[in-house]
Structure 1
């Protein structure tokens, strides 16, 4: 018969593991409490409930350790990092990291953790995922514009200066080309975003219902009219549409005045999601320019040749890793993997234009 690991006498290694669990649970509970201090309403209550659940887990390990220990290990680096970020950054970043952490619960395979604790961790993962999703939805529009604009500026202008520089032209020409690329790209991004958002708002306005027919409601036949069809075009099922139509006509006839239609909430929400065309254009311009200026910096400060190329690659590489890691962090994916993906894509584009520049240099030189 196989011995149950949970029933045997605990070893020193077991006790060290329990102590590590204990400090990690305490640190995670503190993270949730710190986040709760910066939130209100329902989100605050949820975060405090998560902290209380971590407290139950803490009590379990304390009981196994026979009470508070004189010496305890440090919390894991991940938990310490979460605590540091909870004090200084927005909840979305911390929750995204916490979501990844909850995915790797050690309690699934530990015989000294109760099944309830393992189940708690699975539920915690979904709760944190839900809280993080709220933050991502609030951030999605601005974040997409920021990442897309900055990366477009980084990659396109790096490719431009690499290609121009490889042709062997003077450093001043590389600098001019980079600045021209920055302005052209930023203006194009801003104009494109303005037209896109403005067109989307106009499309939404064209699909909104109007109140032109409200004044005629009292004249409709209560039992035979087409008002129900209006509601059906708005996605209401036939029975509910007939009920609303009958109610609207009856109320209008009783009051002998028009009963204004209620504009569908989706249309109003649509405008809020799309946002301002001018704001979107300005953001796109600035985000693109902020990325596009980085590859030009070495030439802007008077460098040239291989030194300028290497420095531009280093600066852009750091920026690409940073933006890629940010995408991974906020999307719940591995930050390093996302950062390396951005780096490979950006450097691949630059390599193609650099090789083309070398080809043109050899051709023209010949």
Structure 2
């Protein structure tokens, strides 16, 4: 009996994974830093909580807008390359065929086989062949602005919930400490999940996310304690 063979690859996750990891880490770290800084200044618990909520709302919207603009710019560039390549295919198809053949030769095919492959792929879909093998574009890796924006905003919100809930439930005199501990654990989880989704060892994501996060929160707490409630 023959069994269907299906390999799971990680490259098709890069678009949403990048936006999700960036959003979650930013949600945890930026809101935690805000909350810790304000809490360390001696502000009232209501002010600390309001700061966290404001940071969540503004941060999620900012992340969504920024991610959309960034990825849309990439999509515009990709589209411009496709338009240019389509024009070249119409203007000089023989040159484009030779160009595609040479690409396959450089990848290890014999000139005869490379030419045959180039001809068949050109007959099937010339633009798709050139987009994939000459420009490096594919449907899997194509920029998707709306998906990236939604993933970024949602993951930011999920990440920001951890420090906000920690600030809400903890006593005022240890709020900064509790938020720091909870946020550090959340960063470790986020780093581990991103490594797992990306197919790399868990410790890599955990270490690189957590160390930077702890340093950022410590600096923010120090600044908040210096200025006090007069700022």
Question: Quick check: TM above 0.5?
Answer: yes
Provide, for residues 25-55 of structure 1, a one-character-per-residue CA deviation record: whole Å limited to 9, x for no partner.
xxxxxxxxxxxxxxx6224xxxxxxxxxxxx
Report how many residues are paired.
Answer: 209
Q: CA deviation at 1:212?
A: 9.3
The one-character-per-residue Cα deviations of 1:266-289 (angstroms, maximum 9, x if unpaired) are: 537534412432121111100111
Q: Within 5 A, what are the aligned runs for 1:153-164?
A: 153-164=27-38
Q: How does 1:188-337 map to 2 (within 5 A)?
A: 188-208=62-82, 209-210=85-86, 227-231=93-97, 235-237=100-102, 262-265=126-129, 267=131, 269-301=137-169, 303-329=170-196, 330-333=198-201, 335-336=202-203
Q: Is the 8 A contact 1:211 1:261 kept in 2?
A: no
User: 1:1-366 to 2 correspondence within 5 Å?
Assistant: 41-43=4-6, 134-208=8-82, 209-210=85-86, 227-231=93-97, 235-237=100-102, 262-265=126-129, 267=131, 269-301=137-169, 303-329=170-196, 330-333=198-201, 335-336=202-203, 338-361=205-228, 364=230
The alpha-carbon distance between structure 1 residues 202 and 271, as it changes in their structure 2 partners (threshold 3 A), is farther
Indicate if the aligned counterparts of 1:211 and 1:260 stay in contact, CA closer than 8 A. Answer: no
For normalisation by structure 2, the TM-score amounts to 0.74
Alpha-carbon offset, residue 343 of structure 1: 2.4
Residue 338 to residue 204, structure 1, CA distance change in 2 (3 Å):
closer
How far apart, in 2, do the equivalents of 1:230 and 1:340 lie?
A: 47
Residues 212, 355 of structure 1: CA spacing in aligned structure 2 closer, same or farther, 3 A cutoff? closer
Structure 2 CA distance for aligned equivalents of residues 212 and 324 of structure 1: 44
- Aligned CA-pair RMSD: 3.3
Which of 1 and 2 has greater Rg?
Answer: 1
Deviation for aligned residue 1:326: 2.7
Check the 8 A contact 2:15/2:144 in 1, yes or no.
no
SS of residue paired to 2:163: helix
Say which structure is richer in helix: 2
What runs of 5+ residues in structure 1 fail to find an aligned partner?
1-39, 44-130, 217-225, 248-258
Deviations 1:130-171 (A, max 9, x none): x5xx43223333222222211111111111111111122222
Return the alpha-carbon distance in structure 2 between the equivalents of residues 324 and 173 of structure 1: 30
Structure 2: how far apart are the matches of 1:354 and 1:211?
57
Tell me, in whole angstroms, the C-alpha distance in 2 between the residues paired with 1:306 and 1:140.
42
Which ranges in structure 2 are unaligned for 5 or more consecutive residues? Answer: 104-110
User: Taking structure 1 as reference, are residues 147 and 227 closer, same or farther at Cα in structure 2, changes over 3 Å only?
Assistant: closer
Q: Alignment partner of 1:292: what SS?
A: helix
Distance (Å, rounded) in 1 between the aligned partners of 2:12 and 2:221 = 40
State how far apart, in whole Å, the 1-side matches of 2:11 and 2:167 are.
40
Q: Which residue of 2 aligns with 1:73?
A: none
Range with bigger deviation, 153-162 or 201-210: 201-210
Describe the shift of the 1:358–1:149 C-alpha distance in structure 2 as closer, same or farther (beyond 3 A).
same
- Report how far residue 174 of structure 1 moved: 1.4
CA displacement at 1:356 relative to structure 2:
0.5
- Give secondary structure in 1 for the equivalent of 2:38: helix
* CA contact 1:321–1:342 (8 Å) conserved in 2: yes
TM-score normalised by length of structure 1: 0.49
Q: Is the 8 A contact 2:19 2:67 kept in 1?
A: no
